[in-house]
């Protein structure tokens, strides 16, 4: 089975550095994009197994990017985990309704991100294996 591809879409070098460090010891392929528009391009080209998507970004924010991902038949099934500093009920409901698989509230620990991503990747691999049987 090939290494899972994880796409992190975030304009913050700090967050990108933390995500990169978190997965440094794992057998994964990390992909990075600096905003929603770049994220869509990379997603279409690389078909990642999971996308970590920030909300507040210049050029195209995470909410718009999520809408475009869900509207694209070839990308709509890629699981998206939103990263947000706003965990208010209204914000959480809004992003959950848009079809995110999960969300991570900032500040977050490396272990928290790894656990959420691996849960999704493992489920995906199990589903693929079941389909292949």
Partner 1 sequence: MPGPEKPGNSLFIETINRYVPEVMQTMVGLTATPGQGIENYPQPSKLQGVTGSIRLSGKVNGMVYTAYSESLSKHVAKKILGGNAGDQDISDVVAELTNMITGNLKSRLCDMGYNCSLSIPSVMRGEEITVSAKNATICVGNDYAIEGSSDSLRVLVFASLEN
- SS3 for 29? strand
Lookup: tokens for 45: 């080209």
CB of 105 to partner 1, least distance (A): 8
Tell how far CA 2 is from the center of its chain: 18
Residue 8 lies near partner 1 (rule: CB under 8 A): no
Residue 15 lies near partner 1 (rule: CB under 8 A): yes
Residue 56 lies near partner 1 (rule: CB under 8 A): yes
Among 108, 118, 119, 124, binds partner 1 (CB under 8 A): 108
Among 73, 90, 131, 132, binds partner 1 (CB under 8 A): 90
Q: How many Cβ atoms sit within 10 Å of the Cβ of residue 119? A: 15
**φ and ψ at residue 33, rounded to 5 degrees:** -140, 150
H or E element at residue 30? strand 29-33
Instruction: List contacts with partner 1 (CB under 8 A).
Output: 12-15, 17-18, 56, 58, 84-91, 106-109
């Amino acid at each position: 089975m090939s290494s899972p591809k994880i796409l992190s879409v975030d304009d913050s070098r700090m967050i990108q550095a933390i995500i990169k460090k978190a997965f440094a010891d794992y057998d994964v392929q990390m992909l990075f994009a600096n905003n929603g528009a770049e994220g869509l391009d990379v997603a279409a080209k690389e078909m990642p197994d999971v996308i970590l998507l920030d909300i507040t970004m210049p050029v195209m924010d995470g909410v718009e990017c999520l809408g475009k991902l869900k509207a694209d038949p070839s990308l709509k099934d890629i699981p998206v985990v939103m990263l947000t500093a706003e965990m208010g009920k209204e914000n959480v409901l809004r992003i959950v309704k848009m079809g995110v698989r999960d969300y991570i509230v900032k500040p977050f620990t490396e272990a928290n991100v790894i656990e959420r991503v691996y849960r999704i990747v493992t489920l995906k691999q199990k589903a693929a294996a079941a389909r292949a049987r």
